[in-house]
Chains A and B, each alone.
Chain A
Amino acid sequence: MGILEVKNVGKRFGGLQALSNVNLSVAENTVHAIIGPNGAGKSTLLNCFVGKLIPDTGSVMFDGQSVLGRSPHEINQMGISRVFQTPEIFGDLTVLENMMIPCFAKRDGSFELNALSGVMSQKDIIERAEHVLEDMNMADKRHMHAASMSRGDKRRLEIGMCLSQEPRLLLLDEPTAGMARADTNNTIDLLKEIKEKRDITIAIIEHDMHVVFSLAERITVLAQGTPLVEDTPENIKGHPKVREAYLGESA
């Protein structure tokens, strides 16, 4: 029984069957990659996990509870954090403030009308945020405007914000898309380090095979909205069906 159990999920957009009959089980404390060519339905599937889309059929269970019909903030409070394809951070806020917001969410839940106490008097939150920033090697940037950082730093901040909530499942949607090689390698190292340090399950959607094969312990290949195969990276590499779907080679 995995931490994330996807059964029979189907999703249709008008005439397009984006997902059909998707079964997937992500085991706890593993890195599970979902790969597939463009338009295979990877992002649609991910959106079904976080409450952005509701599948037409099937079920998505996280830790024995259904996530379907819950809104994104509720699913996040259950313990799923998501990193977006383009880093989604609070651009107008400073790096430290960015990091404080998930700390508030972790401490106070989804809403707290805390209108008359000063931000700067929330010592526990600040301490926690500073601590995560140090972990992420971003302590020196704490007073920078988040929007003015490089893409790699924004990604690092976003991952840090997700981690500060201590999620049980971290979803990464093409975390290295559009990054330079050096930034990509930094991100891989960061994710490896995270995996070593804590008990966390990571589900990653990725295009870049270099990233997938350096991180994943299990790989699911998605093609035209259905899972093709699920196996270990070694077996996936030589799988004829994968080569066909991915590289267009005739087997």
Chain B
Amino acid sequence: MFGLDKRDTTLLLIVAALVALAPFLLNPFPENSDLAQFNAGYPDLMQRFVIFGIFAIGFNILFGLTGYLSFGHAAFLGVGSYAAVWMFKLLSMNIIPAIVLAVIVAGVFALLIGFISLRRSGIYFSILTLAFAQMSFALAYSVLTPITGGETGLQLALDDPRIIGQQVTEGGNIPVPSLFGLEMRDSAELALGPWLFTFNIGYYVCAIIMLIAFYISIRIFRSPFGMMLRAIKSNQQRLNYTGLNSRPYTLAAFVISGMYAGLAGGLMASMDPLAGAERMFWTASGEVVLMTILGGAGTLIGPILGAGMIKYMENIISKINKTILHEWFYWMPDGLEDAMVSIVYPFIGKGWHLTLGIIFMLVVIFLPGGLVEGGQRIANFFRGRKAAKQEGKGTTEPAE
């Protein structure tokens, strides 16, 4: 189906189902229960899951296939956000032109940076991209304030022209981003007994775009172009001595992944129409590297899993505080309760980075293929047991 083989189609359909049912799947706990804080099914976070999913899918096209580790990918995300917000300011609050411009601007920017950075490979390439990204951040933060809004970030204002759209709402407010009248922040709620599920328009817009992005990435992975990229990762020397010029291939991969980042940035601005320089900071570039490696670089679904995992931890674990810990351990004797709380405390709240660091370390050491490899091992384990069972049967049957 869709020009994919059976396995890839299944994967795409599974991802589509997960994404469509996410408001249910991420809200497994009743609204007022103790565990409700582990619910991730609120619009803001779900949007972030899919947007960072897109960002990581695009990063994986570059890093997973060619092995070129860009350490400045957040620059394209930031540029995309700025472009989108400018579109909201100048043209209209429709998200389509904003997203299109975000992708184009990020692509042009990636072409420029890639053209220079790809003259080097390995660590020098990473450092060059990092340098460019930090440069962009610094420029956005200070010199380019008229364009970027500097420290405060780029925000919408009542007197923005919005030439083909509505400048001010009837209530005198700034209009919100929409898709032909569908406002991104609109939600429908469904209460089933104690459960509450939220279906947000912005989330589903992002989700559909992510599915398209995921589909395109599968096509790229399975194309001759994707094979060339894997060949670059495997042995660039042989590729050159086989009559192929690796530079345009890596540049194309770089631009494509930059455009994915721009798309993510544009969507981010569409969900919440402001853009700040901190989106380009190097920690943001590092985050997408973590997502991709954690999920499994070079695999199709890995980056999405990694993005989901990191965003979940960032938003859920960081919200656990001391009071909640005391509630959890209240059944213990007093001394033990305090001891337990002080042991767990460094790993929660602002300490979620520590938890992330430990998980990342464990994954890199024990599962170099990321979460996807973990899944495969589990699957193989069960398949192995099944096979062994069948084999056992096979040997007993002839005896009968």
Footprint of B on A, CB under 8 Å? Answer: 50, 71-73, 76-77, 81-82, 84, 88-93, 97, 100-102, 104-106, 109-120, 122, 125, 161, 165
- Can you name 22 A-B pairs with beta carbons within 8 Å? A72-B240, A72-B241, A73-B240, A73-B241, A73-B244, A88-B241, A90-B234, A92-B234, A97-B227, A100-B227, A101-B231, A104-B224, A110-B244, A110-B245, A111-B245, A113-B252, A115-B220, A118-B222, A119-B223, A120-B5, A122-B224, A165-B243
Q: Report if A93-B245 is in contact (Cβ < 8 Å); known contacts: A71-B240, A115-B225.
A: no
Chain A residues within an 8 Å CB radius of B219:
115-116, 118
Cβ of A106 and Cβ of B245 under 8 Å apart? no
Cα distance, A97 to B228, chains bound together (Å): 10
Q: Which of chain A's residues has its CB closest to B231's CB? A: A90
Chain B residues within an 8 Å CB radius of A165:
242-243
Give me the 9 closest cross-chain CB pairs, A-B, nearest first. A76-B243, A115-B225, A105-B243, A90-B234, A92-B234, A88-B238, A111-B248, A114-B224, A110-B245
Q: Which of chain A's residues has its CB closest to B4's CB? A: A118
Q: Which of chain A's residues has its CB closest to B5's CB? A: A120
Cα distance, A102 to B231, chains bound together (Å): 11
Cα distance, A152 to B156, chains bound together (Å): 67
Cβ of A116 and Cβ of B227 under 8 Å apart? no
Cβ of B241 and Cβ of A76 under 8 Å apart? yes
Cα distance, A91 to B232, chains bound together (Å): 11
B146 within 8 A of A: no
Cβ of B243 and Cβ of A118 under 8 Å apart? no
Q: Which of chain A's residues has its CB closest to B256's CB? A: A115
Cβ of B237 and Cβ of A101 under 8 Å apart? no
Within 8 A of A (CB), among B1-58: 3, 5
Q: Which residue, of A91, A100, A110, has the highest number of chain B Cβ atoms within 10 A?
A: A110
Q: Pick the contact of A115 from B5, B223, B233, B248 — CB < 8 Å?
A: B223
Cα distance, A120 to B4, chains bound together (Å): 10
Cα distance, A136 to B242, chains bound together (Å): 18
Cβ of B243 and Cβ of A115 under 8 Å apart? no
Additional A-B contacts beyond A73-B240, A93-B227, A115-B226 (20; CB < 8 A): A73-B245, A76-B242, A81-B241, A84-B241, A88-B237, A90-B239, A91-B234, A92-B234, A97-B227, A97-B230, A101-B244, A109-B243, A110-B244, A114-B223, A115-B219, A117-B224, A118-B219, A119-B222, A120-B5, A165-B242
Q: Pick the contact of A119 from B224, B234, B241, B252 — CB < 8 Å?
A: B224
Cβ of A91 and Cβ of B235 under 8 Å apart? yes
B257 CB → nearest A CB, Å = 12
Chain A residues within an 8 Å CB radius of B347:
none
Chain B residues within an 8 Å CB radius of A77:
243
A130 CB → nearest B CB, Å = 16
Chain A residues within an 8 Å CB radius of B234:
90-93
Footprint of A on B, CB under 8 Å? Answer: 3, 5, 216, 219-220, 222-228, 230-231, 233-235, 237-245, 248-249, 252, 256
Chain B residues within an 8 Å CB radius of A117:
223-224
Cβ of B245 and Cβ of A71 under 8 Å apart? yes
Q: Which residue, of B241, B249, B252, has the highest number of chain A Cβ atoms within 10 A?
A: B241
Chain A residues within an 8 Å CB radius of B249:
111
Chain A residues within an 8 Å CB radius of B242:
73, 76, 81, 101-102, 105, 161, 165
A143 CB → nearest B CB, Å = 15
Q: Which of chain A's residues has its CB closest to B219's CB? A: A116
Q: Which of chain A's residues has its CB closest to B216's CB? A: A116
B261 CB → nearest A CB, Å = 18
Cα distance, A77 to B243, chains bound together (Å): 5
A222 CB → nearest B CB, Å = 22
Q: Which of chain A's residues has its CB closest to B244's CB? A: A105
Cβ of B223 and Cβ of A89 under 8 Å apart? no
Chain B residues within an 8 Å CB radius of A161:
238, 242
Cα distance, A117 to B231, chains bound together (Å): 17
Cβ of B237 and Cβ of A92 under 8 Å apart? no
B310 CB → nearest A CB, Å = 27
Q: Which of chain A's residues has its CB closest to B239's CB? A: A101
Chain A residues within an 8 Å CB radius of B216:
116
Q: Pick the contact of A106 from B224, B237, B243 — CB < 8 Å?
A: B243
Q: Report if A111-B244 is in contact (Cβ < 8 Å); known contacts: A90-B235, A92-B233, A101-B231.
A: yes
Q: Which residue, of A71, A91, A92, has the highest number of chain B Cβ atoms within 10 A?
A: A92
Q: Report if A113-B227 is in contact (Cβ < 8 Å); known contacts: A88-B235, A91-B235.
A: no
B62 CB → nearest A CB, Å = 13
Cα distance, A20 to B36, chains bound together (Å): 80
Chain B residues within an 8 Å CB radius of A81:
241-242
B240 CB → nearest A CB, Å = 4
B369 CB → nearest A CB, Å = 13
B68 CB → nearest A CB, Å = 15
Cα distance, A104 to B252, chains bound together (Å): 17
Cα distance, A97 to B238, chains bound together (Å): 13
Cα distance, A189 to B236, chains bound together (Å): 29
Cβ of B228 and Cβ of A104 under 8 Å apart? yes
Q: Pick the contact of A116 from B223, B230, B241, B244 — CB < 8 Å?
A: B223
Chain A residues within an 8 Å CB radius of B252:
113, 115
B95 CB → nearest A CB, Å = 25
Q: Report if A110-B235 is in contact (Cβ < 8 Å); known contacts: A93-B230, A101-B227, A120-B5.
A: no
Chain B residues within an 8 Å CB radius of A104:
224, 227-228, 244
Cα distance, A73 to B252, chains bound together (Å): 18
Cβ of A50 and Cβ of B245 under 8 Å apart? no
Cα distance, A111 to B229, chains bound together (Å): 12
Q: Pick the contact of B228 from A72, A82, A101 — CB < 8 Å?
A: A101
A27 CB → nearest B CB, Å = 24
Chain A residues within an 8 Å CB radius of B223:
114-119
